[in-house]
Amino acid sequence: MIYLLDTDIASYAIKSKSPKVDFKLATVPSSQVVVSAIGRGELLYGLKKLPPNHPLSVTVQLFLRNIRVLPWEPEAGEWYAEIRHQLVSSGQTIGQIDMMIAAHALALGANLVTNNTRHYERIQAPLLLENWAK
């Protein structure tokens, strides 16, 4: 099983905001926990808004060195088109980045780990969701 961390759960892990997330990360083999290149970009973008010497910069960089980051492959683009079409057609859109991360999880056959399940439940594709924060 592969667990793709959404940006919010990655942030929980980076900041140790949730003992439940910390516990899950300690019990799941690290080889099964990944971040999308899209999520990596979001985390790095968050750092751009901080002063260069902010303590969080070091923590994020360390997290990204210690977790496998997977590239966004062509099959993810196909899932993205499907998800975006479905959500736009139904008038229930979510953010572009969230759609891309969901598409990546579908392309990988991974469980998407997020604290925003309500958001992702709008997607009609066979997206497997887990919330490690609850």
Domain coordinates of the chain in residue numbers? 3-130
Task: Give the per-residue pLDDT at 53.
Answer: 87
3-state secondary structure the chain: CCEEECHHHHHHHHHCCCHHHHHHHHHCCHHHEEEEHHHHHHHHHHHHCCCCCCHHHHHHHHHHHHCEEECCCHHHHHHHHHHHHHHHHHCCCCCHHHHHHHHHHHHHCCEEECCCHHHHCCCCCCCEEECCCC
Domain over 3-130 is classified CATH 3.40.50.1010:
yes
This prediction has a pTM of 0.95
Q: Can you list the residues of the chain whose pLDDT is less than 50?
A: none
Task: Give the per-residue pLDDT at 52.
Answer: 82
